[in-house]
Amino acid sequence: MDKNMKIYIAILVLLFGIVLLTDKGKPKPIDWTPTYSVNDKIPFGLYILDQEFNGFFKKQKVKKISTETPYEYLDSQYDENENVENYKIKGTFINISEANNIDDQSMKEILYFVSHGNKAFLSMRAFPKLLLDSLKVELKTDFMPSENVSIWMANKKVSTKKYTFNTGLSDYFSKIDTLNTKVLGYQNSNKNKRQINFIEVPYKNGYVYLHTQPVAFTNYNLLKKDHYQYAENVLSYFTKGNIFWYTKSFNDKRISNSPMRYILSQPALKWAWYLALIGILIFMIFNAKRKQRIVPIIKPLENLTVDFTKTIGNLYYQEGDHANIIDKKIIYFLEKIRTDYLIDTSKLDDDFIAKLHHKTGKDEKDIQELIDLINHHRKSYHGSLEEDLIRINTAIEKILH
């Protein structure tokens, strides 16, 4: 290992040490993202509810739906036999989420499931519009920063205790069908009167339960004083039949599956990783610059045949022996015809002209002109002029190019 390599490694180790020392002792920031995921231990996750869910429903079977949509699961449980036309399962469909995470097709399937004598419990801040329209319910949201909201059950036989939540938002039902809807819970704040936050709405042969405070089921509130009792009170309405819990949260699609997820989630490890990549890149750039060999310049071979031909041509031209040059041009032309087109050149007559015309596709008049010039040159007993050389060369070029 050379000296420069040791310097690079020492610099990288020093930078890593500085990052670790800077980050050491810093309290880890709390992630307040409302994921409502059963895998998250952050304040607004549902990890504790997931661990205690079977405790809430001790004598009931709990089925988690996480890889399918509600439509896909419930539709697969429908018996399409003409004599049955009912679901193979009975019980309560449950979903707890910060925002609406149910598509319209799934919502229709849930209502169809309810219509066959089942229940559905949805606790969220924003409900599907299709559901609100079907149940003739309207929802309203008031923003109350740093205000506590008192929440209690409407049925005193269930509980008479009020629980205080610091939610910052007050979601409640501003309009309900009073003839059919049963109020199960209320809330209020210092500035607001009593508001409805938990209702039971009959739908054909079943019931739909809507709850506007999903924060009551999060890790933060289940661990705070006696707030878990409120969650027990709400879930006490579903102690009969099996439970079908849709656990896919609104933010599940944002969770990375990358092997680097943990490293990138920790500030110190993330910056150490970035510094390592930058250091390797700098090392590669400078090291490649020092070790790159000079690429030699290879000169192409000279075409001596062309130079030789030019020299011979100049000698003939300087001698002024045009007849000799014409003879050699004719010899070259006839040899080319024999080689490329396999035509006999012993007789340059009309038959030869016709064959050359068909095989080359050249104008028959141009071929006739060239043959006439060649025959005239061969019969001439006088020295050829430069003009004769030019005419024959031009005629040959027309045929060969």
**The domain spanning residue 78 has which CATH number?**
3.40.50
Distance CA 84, CA 118 (A): 16
Same-domain status, 132 and 153: yes
pTM of the predicted model as reported, rounded to 2 decimal places:
0.61
Same-domain status, 267 and 327: no
> Are 243 and 91 spatial neighbours (Cβ–Cβ below 8 Å)?
yes
Report if residue 35 sits inside a domain: no
Rounded to a whole number of angstroms, the CA Rg of the chain reads: 47
What pLDDT, on the 0 to 100 scale, is given for residue 49? 95
Report if residue 140 sits inside a domain: yes
Burial class for 182, CB neighbours closer than 10 Å (0-12, 13-18, 19+): middle
Same-domain status, 101 and 194: yes
Distance CA 217, CA 231 (A): 6
Other beta carbons within 10 angstroms of residue 13's beta carbon come to: 10
Same-domain status, 175 and 104: yes
The residue from 291, 314, 344 where one domain ends is 291
Report if residue 189 sits inside a domain: yes
Report if residue 297 sits inside a domain: no
Q: Return phi, psi of residue 377, to 5°.
A: -65, -40
* Tens-level pLDDT at each residue, the chain (401 residues): 567 667 777 777 777 777 667 666 667 778 888 889 999 999 999 999 999 998 889 889 999 998 899 999 999 999 877 676 789 999 999 999 988 889 999 999 999 999 999 999 999 988 999 999 999 999 988 766 556 888 999 999 999 999 988 766 678 999 999 999 999 999 987 667 889 999 999 999 999 999 999 999 999 999 988 899 999 999 999 999 999 999 987 555 444 556 676 777 677 778 778 888 888 887 777 666 555 567 788 887 776 666 666 676 666 667 667 788 888 888 888 898 898 888 888 888 889 889 888 988 888 898 899 888 888 888 876 556 778 888 888 888 888 87
How many domains in the chain?
A: 3
What pLDDT, on the 0 to 100 scale, is given for residue 254? 46
Q: Which two tokens stand for residue 239?
A: 């102690």
Same-domain status, 317 and 224: no
Same-domain status, 94 and 161: yes
Other beta carbons within 10 angstroms of residue 10's beta carbon come to: 10
Report if residue 299 sits inside a domain: no
Scored b (16 or more CB within 10 A) or e, 60-87 reads: eeeeebeeebbbebbbeebeeeeeeeeb
Same-domain status, 61 and 205: yes
Q: The domain containing residue 113 runs over which residues? A: 47-250
Report if residue 152 sits inside a domain: yes
Same-domain status, 238 and 142: yes
What pLDDT, on the 0 to 100 scale, is given for residue 257? 55
Same-domain status, 187 and 208: yes
Same-domain status, 69 and 207: yes
Report if residue 207 sits inside a domain: yes
Same-domain status, 137 and 79: yes
Same-domain status, 59 and 133: yes
Report if residue 221 sits inside a domain: yes
